[in-house]
Amino acid sequence: MTAVRYVEATRTYPGGETPAVDSLSLDIADGELLVLVGPSGSGKSTALRMLAGLEPLDAGAIHIGDRDVTSVRPRDRDIAMVFQNYALYPQLSVAENMGFALKQHGVPKDERTARVRETARILDLEPFLDRKPKQLSGGQRQRVAMGRAIVRQPAVYLMDEPLSNLDAKLRVQTRTEVVELQARLGVTTVYVTHDQVEAMTMGHRVAVLKDGILQQCDAPSTLYHQPVNLFVAGFIGSPAMNLVEIGEAHPARIGETEIVLDRAAADGAGRLTVGFRPEALHLGDGPLPARIRAVEDLGSEMFVHVAVEHQGDTVQLIAKTSPPFGGSAGDRVGLQIAGTMHLFGEDGSRVASGPASLSSAGAVSRS
Amino acid sequence: MSGDDATPAVGERRWVNLALGILAWSTALIFFFPVLWMVLNSFKTEEEANASPNLNFEPTLDRYREVTESAGGLLSFGEAFMNSAVVVLVSTLIVLALAIPAAYALAVKPVVKWRDVLFFFISTKFLPVVASILPIWILARDLELLNTRLVLIVLYTAINLPLAVWMLRSFFAEIPRELIEAAEIDGARLRGQLTSVILPLAAPGIAATALLCVIFAWNEFFYAVQLNPVDGSTVPVWVTTNISTRGEFLAQLSAASVLACIPVVLAGWIAQKRMIRGLAMGAIK
């Protein structure tokens, strides 16, 4: 049973002004697949390297299981890591690569061979055991890197963007394989990625980091439906959430069109920003006039980019709709909102969420 | 690089290429000619060697026999060769033993002012050798090291060490950091990291470095002749002292010079591929 705990873990790089990871507190349950996600520079890789023991902590602690490993060497932490570039030992064969850690830990040769064979079988690597890494394709190398971690049967797997060097199709396929494998092995896994789709599809929970600070750690659907702040709202979801600054005006409007919503909870939060997902934006004869900028047809769904006049500016919104959709670039449409709308206060945090729509009356009276 | 991928202004291109080819070959031959002449002379009699240039002669190994058998100078060829071999090999081994850990530390776990450290290393080569000879000679005399192999071993180690640290550092720096980290997580201690990951990857670089150290040490003449002209001296000193400069000596000198060149040429030829790979590896970054 191995849970992982970050307790106010902080790391400032030498010469750095602000911490790369700032007071990170995170509880990762036994057997959980936790994804650390964020844009580059968010500290996600640093957080992982701190857990690996490759970066020292300037403050706080990290526990693996019952053990405080803050000052324990990487080799004594009982972890295995998959690197973005795989870090396979080029001069060793696949079998030797996978058996390297076992050999270092003094596992007898027979057992070593058996465990490497078994892992190779799981990963379909048996035909390649005698090859050198450079004789393998990218996907095969990736599997060897996974195998090298699996064969050790460690307490925790650490994965640092292990799929980002694969082409798109293979990445999606491998994503599923990693999830299946992790579920089967039931080993606590911390997975770093910058790709929010990867994060949402793989993680039991997803921790969103920005500038070294944990923004939110929740199940993917919670992140999607109840983002704690503007950053998470904008980062999670593809295409991104529509965000419109509406200021402090009563009643709230987009352009000239009034938004019907309960905003009592948002009183005193200063200038507000409203957010709504592309699937909540409907195109047709709604009250908010807009111009279509582009239509992206993905077959199963369509993304329609529209421009709306709002407070003297042109605001870009995206609607997600199902085919068929007759409109094309340049057409004029009327927008309606039907779904959840989030209100974010001046400091970026979410102050209220609820069903919202655009008032037809307001639009009619003005048209 | 070649005319192959150039736009087809073919006629001109070909002439340029041909001209460049001729120029390169003639330059190379001009530089190579003295070496060739030395080799040819070494197979001639003294009379032939001193006569006007003549390619039509009967090759003989007598000059080689003369220079290797006679100990007209202070030491025989066999002694000089053994001295050189010992001095060169021992100094190179010491250089590697010191430079590998130093370069590894500078590349993988650098100290804060590692650039200053590197500069310090290389700055020890700025002083003209001739300017340092008097203090070194006095030190060697007081330590009773004159005319010993030891003094040359110490000096050649000191001469080659900065260069070796520089070269090896760039080789070590090119080993992907993740490999070392992976080995660390996989449970390898420093020794395991070195023997199973770092040294195998740096082997071409280490070989290239070792070879350069061997060549520089083998060829060194100034310290050898100043500090060690008699007993424990090396092949370059033997070449100059063994030949009587009275009468005709050109063919014998040629033969001795050829003998001095052979080990270096052989080593270079054998290690050519590795060395170029090693040097190129260092040149990437």
| Phi/psi-derived region of residue A161, left when phi > 0, alpha when psi is between -120 and 50, beta in every other case | left
User: Residue A90 falls within a domain, yes or no?
Assistant: yes
Of A201, A225, A249, which marks where a domain is finished?
A: A225
Q: In the sheet where A67-68 sits, what is the strand order?
A: A21-28, A4-11, A59-64, A67-68
Chain A CB contacts of B200 below 8 Å:
91
Q: What is the pLDDT along chain A (367 residues), one digit of tens a residue?
A: 689 999 999 999 988 889 999 999 999 999 999 999 999 989 999 999 999 999 999 999 999 999 999 999 999 999 999 999 999 998 899 999 999 999 999 999 999 999 999 999 989 999 999 999 989 998 999 999 999 999 999 999 999 999 988 888 899 999 999 999 999 999 999 999 999 999 999 999 999 999 999 999 999 999 999 999 999 999 999 899 999 998 887 788 888 888 888 777 777 778 899 999 999 999 988 899 999 999 999 989 999 999 999 988 999 999 999 888 888 888 999 999 999 999 999 999 999 888 888 887 644 444 3
Chain B CB contacts of A104 below 8 Å:
186-189, 192
**Together in a domain, A23 and A107:** yes
**For tokens 């000619």, what's the residue?**
B33
Distance CA A301, CA A304 (A): 10
Least Cα separation, residue B196 to chain A (angstroms): 9
**Together in a domain, A221 and A245:** no
Chain A CB contacts of B176 below 8 Å:
85, 87
**Together in a domain, A171 and A214:** yes
User: Cβ–Cβ contacts within 10 Å for residue B113, how many?
Assistant: 10
Distance CA A152, CA A118 (A): 12
**Together in a domain, A221 and A260:** no
| Domain limits for position A74 | 4-225
**Together in a domain, A206 and A287:** no
**Together in a domain, A67 and A188:** yes
* pLDDT at residue number A33: 95
| Pairwise CB contact (< 8 Å): A90 & B201 | yes
Distance CA B174, CA B167 (A): 11
Percent of chain A residues topping a pLDDT of 90? 73
Q: Which of A50, A54, A75, A152 to mutate to test the interface with B (most CBs of B within 10 A)?
A: A75
| Pairwise CB contact (< 8 Å): B184 & A83 | no
User: What is the pLDDT of chain B when averaged over all its residues?
Assistant: 84
**Together in a domain, A257 and A210:** no
Query: Which of the residue ranges B213-217, B232-236, B275-279 has the most confident prediction, judged by mean pLDDT?
Result: B213-217
In chain A, the residue whose alpha carbon lies closest to the alpha carbon of B182 is A87
* pLDDT at residue number B184: 92
CATH class of the structural domain B73-284: mainly alpha
Q: Which amino acid is at B45?
A: T
**Together in a domain, A18 and A138:** yes
Distance CA A140, CA B222 (A): 57
Which member of A87, A90, A101 has the closest CB to residue B187? Answer: A101
Which H or E run contains B266?
helix B250-270
User: Residue A230 falls within a domain, yes or no?
Assistant: no
* pLDDT at residue number B2: 43
Chain B CB contacts of A105 below 8 Å:
187
How many domains, chain A?
A: 2
Of A178, A195, A225, which marks where a domain is finished?
A: A225
Which member of A52, A53, A87 has the closest CB to residue B176? Answer: A87
Which member of B176, B179, B188 has the closest CB to residue A104? Answer: B188
Q: Let me know the angle formed at the C-alpha of B130 by B126 and B133, rounded to the nearest 5 degrees.
A: 105
What is the band of B90 on the pLDDT scale with cuts at 50, 70, 90? Answer: very high
**Together in a domain, A188 and A292:** no
| Pairwise CB contact (< 8 Å): A89 & B179 | yes
| Pairwise CB contact (< 8 Å): B178 & A53 | no
CA distances A20 to A13, A14, A205, A315, Å, are: 7, 10, 22, 34
**Together in a domain, A221 and A280:** no
Average of per-residue pLDDT across B203-214: 88
**Together in a domain, A190 and A275:** no
The whole-model pTM stands at 0.79
Least Cα separation, residue B184 to chain A (angstroms): 6
User: Residue A248 falls within a domain, yes or no?
Assistant: yes
Does the pLDDT of residue B201 top 50, yes or no?
yes
A positions 59-98 inside 8 Å of B (CB): 73-75, 77, 79-81, 83-85, 87, 89-92
Break chain B into its structural domains and give their ranges.
3-65, 73-284
CB pairs under 8 A between A and B: 58
Of A173, A194, A225, which marks where a domain is finished?
A: A225
* pLDDT at residue number B57: 81
| Pairwise CB contact (< 8 Å): B188 & A85 | no
> B268, exposed or middle or buried, with CB in 10 Å at 0-12, 13-18, 19+?
middle
Distance CA A285, CA A323 (A): 17
CATH of the domain at A149: 3.40.50.300
CATH of the domain at A323: 2.40.50.140
* pLDDT at residue number A247: 86
Helices B114-123 and B77-108 cross at an angle (nearest 10°) of 160
Phi, psi of A46 (to 5 degrees): -60, -45
